[in-house]
Amino acid sequence: MQRRIRMASIMRRRDANASRSDSRNADTHTNPNEDFDRGRRLLFQAGDFAFLVCVGIASTIVAHMVHDIGWPFVPTCLLAMVAAMAVQTLLAIMAAPILGSIESMAPSMIVAMASPMVVCAVHLAGREPTRFIAIVIGALVAVSMFVFVHFYGRSCISALRKESVDVPN
């Protein structure tokens, strides 16, 4: 029994070391020893940033254009949200082969939900934002999402290590 516990403990330690190695390979962690990995990670971060900004701007412009139709507020907001999500889905599918399907879809979906909401809220407040303002709103939401993803990713690395079960030594 003691031998089994000892072996399990050794395996856990070995897995934890391998896990740390995985984390170094992950996009959300820096590895100062490997320039190639760092360069690769930076390229993906740049890609994520550009993609989120594209989604933010495109979905906000679409929502803004829907408001120009002049329908009552509630159906306009619903249509704006649906149109923005459709645009986001198309962009995410196009980006998936390079950036990854989930990696592109999950954060951009929030951007495509939040930025039209902001446009709708501005309209609800009685303001008529120009197209430039709509673009700025979309870009700001996207940048906020990018920053959130970056810091959340860092917190995930340490939080997930706690998921490992301690085997008694």
CB of 151 to other proteins, least distance (A): 11
Neighbouring C-alpha atoms within 13 Å toward the C-beta of 166: 3
CB of 115 to other proteins, least distance (A): 14
- For the CA atoms of 30, 31, 37, 41, the dihedral, rounded to the nearest 10 degrees, stands at 0
CB of 36 to other proteins, least distance (A): 10
Contacts of 118 (CB under 8 A, 6+ apart): 60, 137, 141
Q: Which is nearer to other proteins, 65 or 106 (CB)?
A: 106
Q: Rule CB under 8 A: which residues touch other proteins?
A: 3-5, 7-8, 11-12, 15-16, 18-23, 25-29, 37, 40, 44, 96-103, 105-107, 109-110, 113, 149, 152-153, 156-157, 159-161, 163-165, 167
Q: Which is nearer to other proteins, 1 or 125 (CB)?
A: 1
Q: Which is nearer to other proteins, 69 or 147 (CB)?
A: 147
For residues 165 and 127, is the Cβ–Cβ distance under 8 A?
no
For the chain, what is the radius of gyration of the CA atoms? 22
Q: Which is nearer to other proteins, 127 or 161 (CB)?
A: 161
Q: Which is nearer to other proteins, 113 or 122 (CB)?
A: 113
CB of 56 to other proteins, least distance (A): 15
CB of 112 to other proteins, least distance (A): 9
Question: Measured over all CA atoms, what is the biggest interatomic distance in the chain, rounded to whole angstroms?
Answer: 75
Taking CA 161 as the corner, what is the angle to CA 160 and CA 167, rounded to the nearest 5 degrees?
130
Quickly tell me which residue has 């690395």 as its tokens: 157
For residues 12 and 167, is the Cβ–Cβ distance under 8 A?
yes
